[in-house]
């Protein structure tokens, strides 16, 4: 299991060190400065209905996220004005994303044991990472969230499962985890606490989930399973919920 803050790649120089120094005898004269590394051009991102402003180094943004590179190194109006708006997105998720962009690490995630609230929403953040096509970040989000679920022996409840299906794409790893949690509830919980009518209401509003759920039931039958393992169990490897295929190597060195 990976720790919460373990990350993928070291921050690298955005630009190379200066080459026009005339004094090679003095090593301090050729050290990359803050401006050399991060650049001086800034962009403004306005996020969410409240238009939360993030003032960000353009070169850092473009180096770390190809989606932003396509946006800000193009002929689009965003590139000309160094400004972009994301009214549908979530400011908190952008905040966590920018911390990852600058530090290479996911911000520590915790869940309050009383209120059950997360310090930042892994589902919302996964949605943003999926939109920006960042599989490494999606994998780390899954690992981080599942590590806490495993520690607390708590998987997703119906509210989180529904939320996942409303915010993520077909075949996403977060959906896979959500449906495994739903199957676990369905097969392993006490029948009187979870009557079938509960699931019926739930399925009506989520047709994609209903299909995945039935596929899951068929897989359980085909595999002749008599008991299901809790998806928030460390016996299930992280790769089960990574973006890479079952036969592909895992890009994370910790596994």
> Is residue 22 packed enough to be buried (19+ CB in 10 Å), middle (13-18) or exposed (0-12)?
exposed
CB of 137 to Zn ion, least distance (A): 14
CB of 251 to Zn ion, least distance (A): 7
Q: Which stretch binds Zn ion (CB under 5 A): 74-82, 93-101, 201-209, 242-250?
A: 242-250
Nearer to Zn ion, 228 or 250 (CB): 250
Could you say which of 128, 239, 241, 243 contacts Zn ion (CB under 5 A)? 239
Nearer to Zn ion, 140 or 242 (CB): 242
Nearer to Zn ion, 64 or 242 (CB): 242
Does 250 bind Zn ion (CB under 5 A)? Our answer is yes
Query: Could you tell me how many residues of this chain bind Zn ion (CB under 5 A)?
Result: 3
CB of 19 to Zn ion, least distance (A): 40
Report helix angle 158-167 to 196-204, nearest 10: 20
For the window 180-219, what string marks contact with Zn ion as x by the rule CB under 5 A? ----------------------------------------
Nearer to Zn ion, 143 or 149 (CB): 143
Q: Which of 138, 148, 213 is nearest to 181 (CA)?
A: 213
Does 242 bind Zn ion (CB under 5 A)? Our answer is yes
Count of Cβ atoms closer than 10 Å to residue 107 Cβ: 17
Does 1 bind Zn ion (CB under 5 A)? Our answer is no
Residues sharing a CB contact under 8 Å with residue 132, sequence separation 6 or more, in sequence order: 65, 67, 68, 97
CB of 250 to Zn ion, least distance (A): 3
- How many Å apart are CA 141 and CA 222, to the nearest integer? 31
Cα atoms found within 13 Å of the Cα of residue 46, Cβ hemisphere only = 10
Nearer to Zn ion, 68 or 241 (CB): 241
- How many Å apart are CA 3 and CA 214, to the nearest integer? 34
| Gyration radius from the chain CA atoms | 22
CB of 128 to Zn ion, least distance (A): 21
- How many Å apart are CA 91 and CA 84, to the nearest integer? 13
Applying CB under 5 A, the residues found at the interface with Zn ion are 239, 242, 250
């Amino acid at each position: 299991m990976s720790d919460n803050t373990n990350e993928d790649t070291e921050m690298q120089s955005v630009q190379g060190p200066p080459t026009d120094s005339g004094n090679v005898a003095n090593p301090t004269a050729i050290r990359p400065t803050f401006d050399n590394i991060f650049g001086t051009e800034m962009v403004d991102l306005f996020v969410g209905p409240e238009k939360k402003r993030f003032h960000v180094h353009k070169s850092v943004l473009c180096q770390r996220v190809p989606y932003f590179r396509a946006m800000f190194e193009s002929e689009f109006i965003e590139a000309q004005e160094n400004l972009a708006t994301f009214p549908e997105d979530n400011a908190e998720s952008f905040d966590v994303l920018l911390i990852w962009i600058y530090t290479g690490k996911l911000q520590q995630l915790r869940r309050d044991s009383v209120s059950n609230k997360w310090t930042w929403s892994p589902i919302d953040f996964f949605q943003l990472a999926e939109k920006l096509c960042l599989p490494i970040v999606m994998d780390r989000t899954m690992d981080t969230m599942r590590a806490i679920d495993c520690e607390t022996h708590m998987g997703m409840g119906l509210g989180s499962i529904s939320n996942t299906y409303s915010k993520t794409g077909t075949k996403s790893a977060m959906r896979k985890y959500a449906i495994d949690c739903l199957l676990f509830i369905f097969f392993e919980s006490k029948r009187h606490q979870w009557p079938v009518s509960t699931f019926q209401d739930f399925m009506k509003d989520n047709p994609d989930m209903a299909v995945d759920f039935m596929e899951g039931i068929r897989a359980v039958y085909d595999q002749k399973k008599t008991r299901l393992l809790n998806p928030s169990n460390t016996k299930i490897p992280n790769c089960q919920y990574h973006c890479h295929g079952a036969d592909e190597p895992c890009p994370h060195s910790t596994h």
